[in-house]
Amino acid sequence: DAMVIQNPRYQVTQFGKPVTLSCSQTLNHNVMYWYQQKSSQAPKLLFHYYDKDFNNEADTPDNFQSRRPNTSFCFLDIRSPGLGDAAMYLCATSRALGWTGQYYGYTFGSGTRLTVV
Amino acid sequence: ILNVEQSPQSLHVQEGDSTNFTCSFPSSNFYALHWYRWETAKSPEALFVMTLNGDEKKKGRISATLNTKEGYSYLYIKGSQPEDSATYLCAFNRHGGATNKLIFGTGTLLAVQP
């Protein structure tokens, strides 16, 4: 089945130690998103890629970076994790809104729960 | 700041009860409204995507309505079952751009007791 896979499911990292979360897709969707969800809060968009074009949200801290080496993979790098970065990180994909106006929803991965110690 | 509000925050019902939740969103520049179901340890799963004022969608015992002029959507579950226990997220897409950026609410956590 075509899907979005996130690894690892749980990640524990030390304060200040760089960490990378990964996301892969078999759907060939051209848009990939990273959302951060802290406890009891709404998922918040950090950034997205439209093909190779990177789009950062204005309030995403510089500590968060992303790479998309090809259509299938996207990585979230946290350069110096702080205690406040502990959260669920969700990757999602979608097709871009089509010229015909056809509209697509998201396909999500199951998330990576990050703990910072 | 665009906010999507969901209520209630959580809901506990008995098996067989019918229930409904509300999602409020900005009514200007509306493009689409999504509902997702997110079960523990699984991926959020798309339930409905609605784009037109007055849209009604149905999937088994679950249905949703949309009012874009007043900025709200209702999700209904008829005859709740324990397997309906999940967090229900709504998300709003404002018009503009090809990349389908969604703004999410905090979700409604539904617990259905046998």
Nearest partner of B39 among A111, A39, A11, A45, judged by Cα: A111
For residue range A49-69, what is the model confidence (pLDDT) as tens digits? 999 999 999 999 999 999 999
List of residues 6+ apart from A34 with CB closer than 8 A: A23, A45, A46, A47, A48, A66, A74, A76, A89, A90, A91
Tally: H helices and E strands in chain A: 0, 11
Q: Which residue of B90, B100, B102, B106 is the best one to mutate when testing the A interface, meaning the one whose CB has the most A CBs within 10 A?
A: B100
Task: Tell me the mean pLDDT in the region A65-87.
Answer: 97
For residue range A4-60, what is the model confidence (pLDDT) as tens digits? 999 899 999 999 999 999 999 999 999 999 999 999 999 999 999 999 999 999 999
Q: Which residue of A106, A110, A113 is the best one to mutate when testing the B interface, meaning the one whose CB has the most B CBs within 10 A?
A: A106
One DSSP character per residue, A20-43 reads: EEEEEESS--SEEEEEEE-TTS--
Mode of pairing for the β-strands spanning B56-59 and B108-113: unpaired
Q: How far apart are CA B25 and CA B31, in angstroms?
A: 11
Nearest partner of A108 among A97, A95, A96, A93, judged by Cα: A93
Can you give the pLDDT of all 114 residues of chain B as single tens digits?
A: 678 999 999 999 999 999 999 999 998 888 899 999 999 989 999 999 999 999 999 999 999 999 999 999 999 999 999 999 999 999 998 866 667 789 999 999 999 999
The half-sphere exposure of A94 on its side-chain side, counting CA atoms within 13 A, is: 18
- In angstroms, the separation between the Cα of residue B105 and the nearest Cα of chain A is 5
Residue B34 has its nearest CB partner, among A48, A96, A105, at A105
